Each structure stands twice: as structure tokens, then as C-alpha cells.
Amino acid sequence: MADGWEEDLEKALTWTESGQSVLKLNIRHLWLFGLWPLYESSAFQLYTVYVYILALWNVTECLLTVYFAWGYMDEVTLVIMSTASHLNGLIKMMFFHYDRRRYNALTRRVASLLSVQSDVCGRESPMAAIVDSSQRHAFRLTLSLLLFMFAQCFVWFPMPLYTHPETRRLPFAQHAWDNNSNLYGLSYFAQCAAGLWTTQISFGLDCLFASAMILVTAQLDILAGRILALKYDTYKEKVEHSEKRPMAKFGDKMYNDLCLCVESHQKILSFVNQLQDTMSPIAMSEFFFSVLVICLGLFQATFNEDFGAVFECASFLPIPCAHVFLYCWAANSVTVQAEGLSAAAYSCSWMEASERFKRAMRILISRAQKPLILTAGHLYPIDKKAFVSLVNASYSYYALLSQTNKR
């Protein structure tokens, strides 16, 4: 039965299902850029192949440029910077298609996650407000970051036409072997298209995981509120007193509600484990390439004498920082909110409760005290400290590169 249920979760997501999901914007954005198929179509498969060809073409051009420009520090580092961004997007695309069934399952599990405490949210408007706020937050964050990424196209793509109108220069990789004389128009289009598609797909996947973590944080917040509401006096007022066993009645009600909280906690933890398995390789790829891009971007903005290159790099530097911060902020919110369950449990009326209530509460507190930490590659913890350490690592590599350049 369990295997059949898992197979149903991993079935290809349909267009109708995507429209009913709280992650609708994330899913359909990835569909728009040729990554996430929402219906069986040979045309869409050809579209996906086209995206892969664009990305491979761009990476190949960049590697050839590095080979022919080797020895020119400014040119090589600028090309490696763009190569890292495009290669990051290409690797993420490959991870997605390798684990596509996990992404379908993750989307369906988000719906199950929201239904875990839907009864409570239906009865209590403050709880429902938390869910609505998290969904709006995830939508607005995704939309704003994707539009910000799209706005970079108007900086990078036309820049060679403004700064070097007298020469034929390309946005990312220059063809040193023929001085950009052959297939200039086609190369210009291919580089712009590849840059747009790979960066949108890369940021789209990051926003997908960040949105899922925002929803998890909201569910943990609701759970903390439910645990905190386990007050002896409150239940005493709700349950009618009888002459025989008034204590047992509201004591049983408190215990049963605590059991429901424990069950909700287990379901949330199960979802986080699935999210971890799906997100881990993508996050690791993002961290590695973002550190590299930040390092090279700082170097270009400091030492390149070409104003166009300096402006491009200075405007692009917030992008890799945003990638890293997005993961670290969202994952840290999950960790902090999970730790708050212990404080909520300790603050409820466990001292006046029955012995079995206390035993169940001890189990909940013990599990909640175990840090709920998401990792990149199942190795590197994702939290605020990780963001600081990654930025510091980028600056260290930049300082080393600067010393090498001065020699």
C-alpha cells in the first residue's frame, strides 16, 4: 500500500494540479522556461532540448574563450564568472530531470502539509491568518526575485552595444579565434537566450525551495500556538463539570489534543526530510558556484578598467548573494521555529496535567530539542552562520586573487 501511495505522489504533475497548488507560480514559471512538463507533449520535449542546447552552447563558448584568452587575467576571470552562472543553471536542470519524480512528490506533499492542521485553522482565525500570510509571502518573494533577475537582462545583454559600439563584442564570451567576425548575430542571440533561460531556471528552483520552507515555518508556528494553548484553566472552562470525574474529562481532552499535536509534528518532520533530500544537491551546487561568482565579481569590479565590465559586475553581485541568503534565511527560519516548540511545550500547563500527559510532553520536548537543520549536500548546514562563512570565503578567495594579480 505504501509503495502504491508513493508511486501516485511521483506521477507527472498535470496543468490542472499545478493550478491548484500553492506553489503555482513556481511550477508554472519553470514550465514556461522549459523545465517542468505539465502534460505529455513532444513539442515541449523539443523545447526542453532547445534549452539544453542553448546552455551547452554557451558553456562551450565560454570554455573556448578561456582557452584562447589564457594569460589575460581580466578577460579570463570575467568569462569564468559568466560560465559559472550558466553552468550552475545547467547542473540544476540536470538534477531536476534526474529527480523529477521527487519534485512531483514534493509538490503534492506541500498540499498534504497544509492539510495537516487545516481543521485548527478553520476553527481559529489567527491560525488561518498565519497560513494566508505565509502563502502571500512565498508568492511575493518569488515574483520579486524573478523580476529582479529578469531586470538584469537589460543591463548585461545590451551593454556591449553601448560601451563598445565601434567593435563587435558579445555579452559574455568573446570569440578570440575569429575576433567575433563569424556568426556574430547568431552568437549574440544564443548568449542572451542562454543567459536568460539558465538564470531564470536557476533562480526558479531556488524560489521553489524557499517557498516550501516558508510554508513549513508557518506550520511550525501554528503547531507552537496549539501546544501553547494546552492550558489547564482553559480546558476546565470548556468542559462541563460532573460530580463523578470532572478532572478526567478535561484531562483526557488535553491529552488527546496533545497527541494530535505530536502527530502533526511527525508529519511536518517527514515533509522536511523529503524536502531535504530533494533540495540538498541543488543547494550544494548553488553554494559552490555563488562563492566563485562573488569572488570573481569583486575582482572585476575592483581591477577591471573597462567601465562596462565594472558596471555589469557591480549590478550582478547582489544576485549570487541573494541566492545564498535566500537558502540561509529560509532554512534558518525553519530551524528557529522548530526550536520554539520546546519553549511552547514548557510554557503550557503541564504541571497540573495528568501523568500520561507529562510523559507525552517529555517525548515531544525531547524531539523538539533536536535541531531541525537543513543541509546542502547532506554535509553543509544551511543557516545564518553559513551565509556569513560563505561570504567570508568569497572575500578570502578575492584577496588571494588580488595578490596574484599584483605580482
Question: Where would I find the H helices in 12-124?
Answer: 15-20, 24-32, 42-68, 73-98, 100-115, 118-123
Nearest-CA neighbor of 110 among 218, 224, 263? 218
The answer on pLDDT for 93 being more than 80 is: yes
Q: Mean pLDDT score of the chain, rounded to an integer?
A: 85
Phi, psi for 202 (deg, rounded to 5):
-60, -50
Residues 6+ away with beta carbon under 8 Å from 200: 29, 33, 146, 149, 150
Tell me how many domains the chain contains.
Answer: 1
Domain holding 302, by residue range, is 2-406
Quick check: pTM over 0.75?
yes
Q: Is 300 left (phi over 0), alpha (psi -120 to 50) or beta?
A: alpha
For 295, phi and psi rounded to 5 degrees? -60, -50
pLDDT tens-digit map of 3-18 = 555 667 888 888 999 9
Any idea what DSSP says for residue 351?
S
Asked whether the predicted pLDDT for residue 407 surpasses 70, the reply is no
DSSP per residue over 180-215, as a string?
T-SSHHHHHHHHHHHHHHHHHHHHHHHHHHHHHHHH
Calculate mean pLDDT across residues 310-321: 81
Which DSSP category does 240 fall into? P
Q: 381 forms bridges with which residues in the sheet? A: 375
